[in-house]
Chains A and B, each alone.
Chain A
Amino acid sequence: MIESVQAWFRTLADTHPKWNFIYLYDPVQTARIGEGLWMTLQLSVACVVFSVLIGVTGAWLQGSQHAAVRAFVQGYIQFFRNTPPLIQLLFFYFALGQFTPTYSPDGWLEVPIISNVGWAIISLSFFAGAFNVEIFRAGIEAIPESTREAADSLGMSRLQIYVYVVLPLAFRVSLPALNNNLVNLVKTTTQAIVIAVPELLYQLVSIYNDYSTAQNACMLLMFVVYITLVGVLVLGMNRWERALRIPGYGG
């Protein structure tokens, strides 16, 4: 069965040289795609998790009593929101990467402590995190002051009020906007190609650089994978949104 399908695509590549689905019949290319897909998934999950954590923490710090802390968060948001993520990736890897310490695993080669994958996760998480801070802030502002006051009058500390009252409510308000930003983040992981992170786009480009007839097939796969990946994310987020719905509260 599999062999006859592979044979069919091999013939297709011979008869229609623009449609060489090489990754369907050449195990070496299939493995490259598999590695790229795995890297893209890891990159996406890591960046989603870290960017949400950055958003939650940043939104908490924005409510700080210290003006310096608030200014710092504001500066962070401005920097990461107002510069292109592509430039951030290049800057983190090539500029900051020069100053990070190195170590030598084999006694010969010096390797930086933070790899290009590490820099991609850091850079993209902070990029999306800046938007997440703003998204959570909007959610927090939607929570009535009186709800916070009630918690205050019960003797809860500022952190307890944030963790147990404000954030759970703000999170629900923020979910649709968060959804959008995380979709963007997953798509932006493709830009990690500029610092040679071997994610899916990197692998596909490599394949069609080696086999120019595979270009169309590679691009097609790119779309299919991303539509599926983002589709799964959106489906998950929508389910989560429904699961968090409170009876009798909100829309």
Chain B
Amino acid sequence: MSSREATMNGPDWDPSQPIVSIRDVYKSFGELEVLRGVSFEVMKGEVVCIIGPSGSGKSTLIRCVNALNSIDSGSIRVEGQEVHDPDLDKLELRRKVGMVFQQYNLFPHKTAIENVMMAPVLVLKEPKGEVEARARALIRKVRLEGKEDSFPGELSGGQQQRVAIARSLAMRPDIMLFDEITAALDPETVKEVLVTIRELAEEGMTCILVTHEMGFARELANHIYFTDRGVIVEHGPPATFFTEAKDPRTREFLSQIL
């Protein structure tokens, strides 16, 4: 446990520094410029929401944080470590950064508990018994007791998404990325998932969420970023963001959504 923590936090990272620091990031897919100079910082324990119209680059941005997408220029540091260093140990980074996807992406041939146990057993090489105990606790935490042995195909969307959250948490990440995790769910099940996220945030997990849940962002976020066409147009704490938006594009977006 202690040796793991020693390797997890880069030696040169001081927890009073931002846990994620994004500086002037550019990213294109062929001709299409998706990110055009994005910068922001997240402190440990903060909940940050990224909102904005479709195609504004928000998903790409958080996918760059755990190196699922590469960047063309700029810098992304996680716990002081440059993510887009070609010599980076990607596996090491991904142990620190958990990610939950819009389409859950569970392993369909594994039961709920097997989904949760897989990575700690294979990647962290932790003993099976220990991992299983933790996995059961996590499944209880996301309120899916009794569904341990169900296959993803037997679970509802909201249930699958909560298994996906438990699966990420099983790796004991320092940061969680959520990529529009409620976008594919019906309003009823959205609530179940948001309750889980709220608990996580209250426990002090650093969370970066790409979301369209404005009520949720207002309630939980420490900071909200509004992106449009690859740049951050406006940002601020929810208290001022929703009421004092200065940029006309932000105001238009908010007026459509709120």
Contact = CB atoms under 8 A, between A and B. Distances in A.
Interface string B168-189: 1001000000000000000000
Given A149-B68, A160-B122, A249-B151, A155 B91 contact: yes
Contacts of A246: 108-109, 151, 153
A155 B94 contact: yes
Contacts of B84: none
Interface string A132-152: 000000000000101101111
A248 B105 contact: no
Interface in B144-170: 151-155, 164, 167-168
A249 B152 contact: yes
B88 interface: no
A146 B101 contact: yes
A147 B103 CA distance: 9
B101 A149 contact: yes
B119 interface: yes
A152 B95 CA distance: 10
Nearest to B153: A248
A153 interface: yes
B120 to A, nearest CB: 9
Contacts of A157: 91, 123
A248 B151 contact: yes
Contact of B118 (A144, A149, A154): A154
A165 B123 CA distance: 14
A190 to B, nearest CB: 37
B66 interface: yes
Contacts of A151: 107, 119
A101 interface: no
A147 B154 contact: no
B150 to A, nearest CB: 8
B135 interface: no
Contact of A169 (B92, B95, B108, B123): B108
Given A150-B106, A248-B153, 5 more contacts: A147-B105, A147-B108, A150-B99, A155-B119, A169-B107
Interface of B: 66, 68, 90-92, 94-95, 97-99, 101, 103, 105-109, 118-119, 122-123, 151-155, 164, 167-168, 171
Interface of A: 144, 146-147, 149-157, 160, 164-165, 168-169, 172, 246-249
